[in-house]
Chain A
Amino acid sequence: MATTQTFGGGVHPHEIGNGKDSTKSQPIVNAAAPARVTIAMSQHLGAPAACCVKVGQVVNMGQVIGEAQGAISAPVHASVSGKVVALTTCTITGGKSVPAVVIDNDYEDRWDESVKPCENIDALTPEDIRRIARDCGVVGLGGAVFPAAVKLDTSKLDPKPDTLVVNGSECEPYLTSDHRMMVENAEQIIDGIRFAMKATGVKCAKVGIEDNKPDAIEAMRAAATENIEIVALPAKYPQGYEKMLIYALTGRRVPNRALPSAVQCVVINVSTCAALSAAVREGKPIIDRVVTVAGRVAKPCNLRVRIGVPLLDVLDQVGGMTEGVRKLIVGGPMMGKTIPDLNVPVTKSFSGFLALGDESVNTEESACIRCGRCLRACPMGLAPAKMDSLVRHGDYQGALNIGALNCMECGSCTYVCPAKRELLQAIRVAKAVGGRIKGM
């Protein structure tokens, strides 16, 4: 299959623990509506939303229950119609406790009056699209949940972006939610790409898809319109990281510690594009998302679940977990975060939920044998083992001096390390402690 240039380094975890096979050919299933949802007020990068409903209040599906605060933020919407029964806190991935609204579902699925289709699509200005994206709580659904309205605002950029880079690579093992979205909803994604192009004012879009998803590439090529190019990329982790993706699609290198705008690119995920299309055309805010549920579960699948559903309920829909689960992971196995129990509610960042066994548990660390595998695996060209050594000797500044801050935490170094050392974790420590040293 036609491929373009690729970044140096990277790893092939697909070869050993792919896990994509169990879910990649199954159509997305709509999960049964939950009896109760717990909707976190912080489901996006930036300031948490401020709760704007009271206990006892009856809310409609799609109604704003948390208002965006500040420039980088997003509103939060009710994912069911029903009664607010509590204002509480819940633990989200990463261990933070955040305010949350608990709603009991009345199963009427009554849309809020604010949710209505756009009457004149062609008359929409870029500002209108950004406003809709913000009002509908559209955030990056690849996992980083950066507010789309902020990303699509190119008015203050100089020079202006010229390429919309669309991320359909889904390089994490196990995850297939973007894959299924592209196969089943290619037209909606392309539609969203066109809105994103209009909002940002760029004239061409390039969609990068790993070549292990030929059906997605085919569906997207069939749906693609003028100035939207579908590019097959080698299946290699971390192909979906934005700097690697931009390089693969445009040949441009984003400088260290700079954003994609530095090389005139805007990066957006395919599922985010689909959500943008639904928001613009139908006025629908994000109240659900597709989650890959895989690993040690009875029936691995892609489920479209409402935001706020506890994972316990999600697991009920797939027949529960099987034997030997050691880790619960939100996201993919390479960059995902572990959670301690199943009470965590689904948020917009849930690209996947994995129940993994012993294969996910590291064995004991041993001494570095200086094999250089981490050097060759690091897509950023860093020296992870060197940083690890410096950090373990307490020299955090030394690790920063050789570029620890440029690490994007993809985990490729730790994945390949034959001594099973926690290299990435050492680098994280350098970043955290080093930041404090500098008073950043």
Chain B
Amino acid sequence: MSKYIVSASPHLRDHVSTRSIMQDVCIAMLPACIAGVLFFGYRAAVILALSVLTAVLSEKFYCKAAHIKDTTGDFSAVVTGMLLAMNLPSTVPYWMPVIGSAIAILLCKMIFGGIGQNFINPALAARAILALSWASLMNTFAAPAFGNLAGVDAIASATPVSGAARGGFTLAQLALGNIPGTIGETCKIALLVGAAYLLYRKVISWHIPVAFIGSFALCYLIATGFDVNATLYQVLSGGLILGAFFMATDYSSSPATSKGKIVFGLGCGLLLFWFRFGKKTPAEWCSFAILLMNVVSPLIERVTGSKSFGEVKK
């Protein structure tokens, strides 16, 4: 036998791998996580750690039980764990991220075939299940206390999108993130830094975030008679920035085509507008808008397939 490998072309590969992509996503989410810990104290850090740990262990367990290759090395479970924790208030009991992560990995990702096969975003689906099962726990937010790592009191506090306190914060507060909210959603500056990193590394494209935030903002502008301040307030409130850049862009549950991404983003934006505008619901609906669009994503992809190079002159 020859000592040289005989194989089909191409013989060169790009450096980018599944693992490097997922690590990039983790890096991009770090600033927002750090901000969350700074604002909400050590509990935020513990929740993040528990969530990531459970996600990785759940995937390891599943792979072992199902006799398939251990896939935790690709870092996608870490991403799911981080995302879920970022979507939880810092006040939840510690069993919550554990249950949530296990649900995300086992029920929403692995039983559909693992990475690339899940039709919904696992972290979001798990968050939705938690939110519907323990509504009050999931809607108890701590008031942020910058640098108070010892922890802040778990007081029921209103977030900018929930009815009572709407309009109660300044735009600067919304951007900086010293407002009540989930661990990873409040600091918009940190989120945008991470988003810029993802765009720079070409992990995500501009299509979904721009269509999502753009369509939502446009609808809000029109509905409020071009009240720029109110619109900005809405854009920077709740989970929109986190959702648009980090959750709606999930590869498995969004269309792969560029046109499809725009349609998907538009859908998310319009749904969120419908859920939020003029309603006094206490819950944040951003994740539900994305989840609903996840379900129609395969359909969108099917109808937005691009033309081949030579199809024009047939």
A interface list, Cβ under 8 A from B: 7-8, 11, 13, 16-17, 173, 243, 247, 253-258, 262-263, 325-329, 333-341, 354, 356, 359-363, 366-373, 375-376, 379-383, 385, 402-403, 406, 409, 411-412, 414-420, 422, 424-425, 428
| Nearest chain A CB to B143 CB, angstrom units | 39
Q: Is the CB of B256 within 8 A of A327?
A: no
> In the assembled complex, which residues on chain B have CB atoms less than 8 Å from the CB atom of A243?
309-310
Nearest 8 A/B pairs, CB to CB: A411-B10, A372-B256, A256-B310, A340-B2, A360-B11, A381-B308, A333-B11, A369-B116
Give Cα A418 to B16, complex, Å: 5
Report the nearest B residue to A407, measured CB to CB. Answer: B308
A418 touches B311 (CB 8 A): no
Which among B5, B20, B74, B309 is the interface contact of A253 at CB below 8 angstroms? Answer: B309
If A16-B12, A334-B10, A359-B12 touch, whether A367 touches B307 (CB-CB below 8 Å) is no
A381 touches B306 (CB 8 A): yes
Could you list some 26 contacts between A and B, CB below 8 A?
A253-B313, A256-B309, A257-B310, A258-B310, A327-B4, A333-B10, A334-B9, A336-B11, A338-B6, A354-B11, A362-B7, A367-B113, A371-B251, A373-B16, A375-B306, A380-B310, A383-B305, A406-B309, A417-B13, A418-B14, A418-B17, A418-B18, A419-B18, A422-B8, A424-B8, A425-B8
Q: Are B12 and A13 in contact, with the CB atoms below 8 A?
A: yes
Give the chain A neighbours of B256 by CB distance below 8 A. Answer: 370-372, 375, 385
Contact B5 A372 (CB under 8 A): no
For chain B, the count of residues having a C-beta within 8 Å of the partner chain is: 41
A422 to B310, CA, bound (A): 24
Q: Select B4's contact among A254, A257, A263, A341, beta carbons within 8 Å.
A: A341
CB-defined interface of B84-128 with A at 8 Å, one 1/0 digit per residue? 000000000000000000000000000001111100000000000
Q: Is the CB of A336 within 8 A of B9?
A: yes
Task: List chain B residues, Cβ under 8 A from A173.
Answer: 12
Please tell me if B312 contacts chain A, counting CB pairs below 8 Å: yes
Residues of A with C-beta under 8 A to B306: 375, 381
Q: Report B113 CB to chain A, min CB distance, Å.
A: 8
Q: Which positions in B face A, CB cutoff 8 Å?
A: 2, 4-18, 20-21, 71, 74, 76, 113-117, 251-252, 256-258, 305-314
B240 → A minimal CB distance (Å): 23
Q: Is the CB of B308 within 8 A of A369?
A: no
Interchain CB contact under 8 A, A326 and B4: yes
In the complex, what residues of A have CB within 8 A of residue B20's CB? 418
Measured between alpha carbons, how far is A428 from B13 in the docked complex, in Å? Answer: 18
Tell me whether A428 and B8 are in contact (CB under 8 A): yes
B16 touches A416 (CB 8 A): yes
In the complex, A340 Cα to B17 Cα: how many Å? Answer: 29
In the bound complex, how far is the Cα of B251 from the Cα of A376, in angstroms? 14
CB within 8 Å for A420 and B314 given contacts A367-B115, A370-B256: no
Q: Which residues of B contact A13 (CB under 8 A)?
A: 12, 14
A411 to B314, CA, bound (A): 25
- A326 to B308, alpha carbons, bound, how many Å? 36
Secondary structure call for the A interface: loop
Cβ A360 vs Cβ B12 within 8 A: yes
Which chain B residue shows the least CB distance to A377? B14
Minimum CB–CB distance for B248 against chain A, Å: 14
B6, B9, B116, B314: the one contacting A370 at CB < 8 Å is B116
Given known A255-B312, A369-B251, contact A418–B21 (CB-CB < 8 A): yes
Given the complex, which residues of B lie within 8 Å of A417, measured CB to CB? 13-14
Contact among B4, B18, B309 for A325, CB-based, below 8 A: B4
* Seed contacts A366-B115, A418-B16; 6 additional CB < 8 Å A-B pairs: A13-B14, A333-B9, A369-B21, A371-B256, A381-B306, A385-B256
Q: Are A255 and B314 in contact (CB under 8 A)?
A: yes
The residue among B8, B14, B257 with the most chain A CB atoms within 10 A of its own CB is: B14
Partner of B314, one of A256, A383, A428: A256
B252 touches A362 (CB 8 A): no
Are B71 and A366 in contact, with the CB atoms below 8 A? yes
Contacts of B6 in A (CB 8 A): 338-340
Q: Complex: how many Å from CA A257 to CA B309?
A: 11
Residues of A within 8 A of B113 (CB): 367
Known contacts: A253-B312, A418-B21. The answer to whether A381 contacts B307 by CB under 8 A is: yes
How distant is B246 from chain A, measured CB to nearest CB, in Å?
15
Q: How far is the CA of A338 from the CA of B4 in the complex (A)?
A: 9
Q: Are B14 and A370 in contact (CB under 8 A)?
A: no
Contacts of B71 in A (CB 8 A): 366-367
Q: In the docked arrangement, what's the CA distance between A385 and B294, Å?
A: 20
Contact among B11, B257, B309 with A372 in the assembled complex (CB-CB below 8 Å): B257
User: CB distance A366 to B5 under 8 Å?
Assistant: no
Kindly state the separation between the CA atoms of A416 and B312 in the bound complex, as whole angstroms. 26
Chain B residues with CB under 8 A of A336 = 9, 11
Report B80 CB to chain A, min CB distance, Å.
Answer: 13
